[in-house]
Amino acid sequence: MLRLNGGKCDIFASLAAPTTSHSLSYLKNCSVQTPIIRSHSLPYIRNCSVQTPIIRSAQLPLPGRDARHVQQRLFSKGSLSSQRSSRNGVKYTGTFRKHAIYASQNVREAIYTHLGSNSWKIELPASGLTVLTDPWLIDNLTFFDQDWLYEGIKRKDVGDVGLAFADGCDAILITQGLDDHAHRPTLKRLPKHLWIIASPTGAEVTRDLGFTNVTSLAPGCGTTLDGKLDIQATSGALVGPPWSQRENGFILRERSVDGISLYYEPHCSFDYRSLEQQEPVDLVISPAASVSLGAFPLVNGVEETVKLLNLLQPQVMMPLPNAEIEEDGVLAPWISSSGTPEATQQALNRANISTTVRDIPQTGQGQRIQFS
């Protein structure tokens, strides 16, 4: 039912059916009252208030979407508030751009700790799980033990504290088999019972080092951690000849209603067609600076980052400062980097992408990230 009221409109949906009408595409200055609103049918509601009972995402059977992965985010340019209504509901007010509603009583969050270069840890309170990724935690970085050719030195070494992080995690993700992702001196020091989830080349490295619980995932394959966290491998960087299999990115999705989802690939290298089929994520962890060896690109920069974030539509991007290390050896003078989180944010703004790029966190200090 539609009722006009002094230039504003009130829309009431029957309690028996959710609102899905595409005729609600460009409403302004309205209020919406309904038990369930399928928000992708309301792409541009502006200056509205939305009143709805508390909804768990499992109650939202959106076409083509797994219900538990529905993260209809509230992008607010102004104030955004929620309060209990007299009908045991939640009222959201603000200025909405798209993806109108995600109703939940609990704050969705993650705690991210950067550990230098490609290494980071994420704590997921909704599932109670902790994941460590691409651990380089001790010693310097060399490739094939050829320090005369290249040696990387962390500007801040987390040392034995980082090893403690690894010992307390539920799984270790390894995106590539090269030493800056599968760092052999670090892996040799870690307990060999830890669950390793890795690209095929990373799995080979860890098995050779004595790890007994190794899951090898090629792009397109997945596994589940403790029945609470789905982990899917995606197509990542090509680090060998053109006929080589690409290394991995990973998408993590908590199964809990109040859980989060994230995407990580350390080179900002991805297959557009496969990511296009993925659901949006809350968080992307990706480089904010390009890295090149002479004229050969090693890590992609701002241009590819904009494409990636346009595909995945995250609320937050956490910049991965994998170029911020001291370098020595024959190759060091030929390595250059370009780009900053600020430049990435400016490019996203120009492209009208609403993702917020966070500042680079201090190494070893956890940073709480909250999502609407």
**CA triple 109-113-140, angle to 5 deg:** 160
Residues 42-58, mean pLDDT to the nearest whole number: 36
pLDDT at 1 over 60: no
pLDDT category of residue 64 using cuts at 50, 70 and 90? very low
CATH class for domain 108-371? alpha beta
pTM of the shown model:
0.72
pLDDT at 100 over 80: no
Q: How far apart are the first and last CA of the chain?
A: 30
Enter the DSSP assignment of 177: S
Residue whose C-alpha is closest to residue 365's, from 195, 189, 158, 163: 158
pLDDT at 19 over 50: no
pLDDT at 39 over 70: no
Q: Which residues contact 280 (CB under 8 A, 6 or more apart)?
A: 71, 261, 312, 313, 314
Instruction: Render pLDDT for 324-344 as a digit per residue (tens, 0 to 9).
Output: 788 899 998 998 888 899 999
- Residues carrying CATH 3.60.15.10, the chain: 108-371
Instruction: Render pLDDT for 157-199 as a digit per residue (tens, 0 to 9).
Output: 666 667 887 878 999 999 999 999 999 999 999 999 999 999 9
Instruction: Render pLDDT for 260-274 as a digit per residue (tens, 0 to 9).
Output: 999 999 999 999 988
What is residue 106's predicted lDDT score, i.e. its pLDDT? 67
Let me know: does 159 contact 180? Beta carbons within 8 Å.
no
Residue whose C-alpha is closest to residue 298's, from 307, 308, 306, 287: 287
